[in-house]
């Protein structure tokens, strides 16, 4: 596979690439209903940061999203100093290359830039080990989201 980079998504074409990756991973592979995969935070919004991993030829490989401020409140217990990482998805062909970890770190960098102290996420339970290796710790009980078991996790950020 050729070289790849991770960057903040900028403009409609990048957001469309993010949504294409999410459709492939969540809607097609995991059978999440499309009507619940996309939400109001997918519009260009000051409270949302999308990140995108792309190959050198421009092929999208992965994406993630950071919510902050009131947009993140329902996912972070209402703490304004905590952002919410979500919609992390890596295409099947890019798995195992470090793309997912690079996307998480890009979201954390965006959170630091915004002055956030921590990042929360809702991890599919099969991915707990991935997030634990990146410094996240699970808390609370398991819960279903889109019919898939999840756990809440948090990582404090060093600024």
Render pLDDT for 37-85 as a digit per residue (tens, 0 to 9): 888 888 777 789 999 999 999 999 999 999 999 889 888 888 999 999 9
For 70, counting Cβ atoms within 10 Å of its Cβ (0-12 exposed, 13-18 middle, 19+ buried), the class is exposed
DSSP β-bridge partners for residue 85 = 66, 121
Instruction: Give the global pTM.
Output: 0.93
| CA atoms of 129 and 141, how far apart (whole Å) | 16
pLDDT exceeds cutoff 80 at 127:
yes
């Amino acid at each position: 596979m050729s070289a790849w980079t991770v960057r903040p998504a900028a403009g409609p074409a990048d957001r469309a690439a993010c949504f294409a990756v999410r459709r492939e991973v969540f809607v097609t592979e995991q059978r999440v209903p499309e009507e619940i995969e996309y939400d109001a935070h997918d519009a260009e919004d000051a409270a949302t940061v999308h990140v995108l991993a792309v190959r050198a030829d421009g092929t999208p490989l992965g994406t993630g999203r950071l919510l902050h401020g009131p947009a993140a409140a329902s996912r972070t217990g209402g703490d304004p100093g905590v952002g919410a990482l979500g919609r992390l998805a890596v295409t099947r062909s890019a798995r195992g290359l470090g793309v997912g970890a690079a996307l998480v770190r890009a979201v954390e960098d965006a959170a630091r830039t915004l002055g956030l102290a921590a990042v929360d996420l809702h991890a599919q339970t099969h991915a707990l080990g991935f997030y634990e290796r990146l410094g996240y710790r699970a808390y609370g009980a398991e819960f279903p989201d889109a019919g898939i078991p999840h756990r809440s996790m948090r990582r404090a950020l060093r600024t």
